[in-house]
Amino acid sequence: LNDIPFVVYMATTLGSEVLFAATLAENPAIWGGSTIQIPDPPHLPPDQERSASAFAATSPDGRIHVVWAHTDRYGSSFIANIFYARLLQGPVPTVELTEIVYSKAVPGFFTIAAAGVKVDPVTGVVHVIWAEQFPPNLLYSQRTGGGWSSSEIVTALPFPNYAANVRVVPADIALLSPGAPACAAGDISLLTTYYLERGVAGWSKETAGGYASFDSFFPSRPAIAIDSKDRAVLLFGQQSAPTVAMKRREAPSTFSASAVTPFTNSKAFHSIASGSDDTFYIGSGSNSLLVTSRQWEDNLGNQDPYVTVHNGSGAALNAANGNEHFLLPLLRARGRGLSAALDLHWNSLE
């Protein structure tokens, strides 16, 4: 928010995990000057409660959107929830709204966990993913206007040995243009990382690569971001080699070769964020790195004259790769001495 860091975190208070939010004080070396507690949405007071796995996102209107998992015990019964809060930006964040996204009867604590939240900067639609253990699925819902949509199953996400102890979900969410959600998810049984995208016909699933995890209790979390050409970029650990892979989705079921980072801890909680110039900020455990994926492809428009066709004034289309090439002459100088020419070349795939 205006380059001001913001965090959400859990703290134990009187035996229960309570959600807090904090922004950085004016002194960059000090945290906590504006820490507030985020209340639960109104619901029946339980005998005992537990919260876990909080995630936050911001929207252009200056609001902060937070989701977290919360389980209530009523006698011998348990209700698992996904909670949502919307905060207003200010010297001290103000809680504007709290809502229940999802509720379900479960056999015990920590059988549900939030996985991520993103806000469409154009429409303001809030997209949320989370996972539950009974049955083991990755789920999705969106908030449009004044309410939440019915939950959708994104994919089966196995938790074979969790023993009612889900705390970290191996999944992340990002938004394609125009506001279509996409996910990265790790399968700890098949050691596979999947790319999932929500389209008109529902969710599609593609295999992006391998997967690495500490064990079934603490799975590694893959990450996803979107570059300037609306392509998904995935970051995930690989079990076969203790490295971290960074892959870009070039086409359906087609991912670029792994760009292996110098991280040696592949079984970590990964994160990735993209800038407007295709610069990616990635983190893996306690490590962080700045990576750029921008590439210049010289003469992209005229690589093969046999597949290049005229496509308008100063334009040509490469039918093999779909590149649109434009040539705009800017300057021509002739006479005594050296001649000079200045042209502007533009390729749609650069």
Q: What is the signed CA dihedral for 114, 115, 120, 125, rounded to 10 degrees? A: -30
CB 238 within 8 A of CB 284: no
Which pLDDT score, from 0 to 100, does residue 23 have? 54
Tell me which residue of 247, 268, 250 sits closest to 259, measured CA to CA: 247
81-122 pLDDT, tens digit per residue, is 999 999 887 767 788 999 999 999 988 887 888 888 999 999
Tell me which residue of 148, 64, 69, 140 sits closest to 101, measured CA to CA: 148
How many CB atoms within 10 Å of residue 335?
7
Q: How many CA atoms lie within 13 A of 221 on its CB side?
A: 25
Stated pTM of the model:
0.75
Q: Which residues of 157-171 are buried (b: 16+ CB within 10 A; e: fewer)?
A: bbbeebeebbebbbb
Which pLDDT score, from 0 to 100, does residue 112 have? 84
Which pLDDT score, from 0 to 100, does residue 294 have? 44
User: Which value, in Å, is the radius of gyration of the alpha carbons in the chain?
Assistant: 24
Cis, bond preceding 135 (omega within 30 deg of 0):
yes
Q: What is the signed CA dihedral for 123, 124, 125, 128, rounded to 10 degrees? A: 140
Which pLDDT score, from 0 to 100, does residue 19 have? 63
Residues of the chain with pLDDT under 70: 1-34, 91, 158-168, 212-219, 238-243, 259-270, 274-279, 281-306, 334-339, 350
Which neighbouring-strand residues pair with 172? 184
Three-class DSSP category at 216: coil
The whole-chain average pLDDT of the chain stands at 76
How many CB atoms within 10 Å of residue 60?
10
15-47 pLDDT, tens digit per residue, is 455 566 655 544 445 444 567 788 889 999 899
CB 32 within 8 A of CB 25: yes
Which pLDDT score, from 0 to 100, does residue 270 have? 65
Q: Which residues of 280-304 are buried (b: 16+ CB within 10 A; e: fewer)?
A: bebbbbeeeeebebeeeeeebbeee
Gap between the Cα atoms of 218 and 152, Å rounded: 25
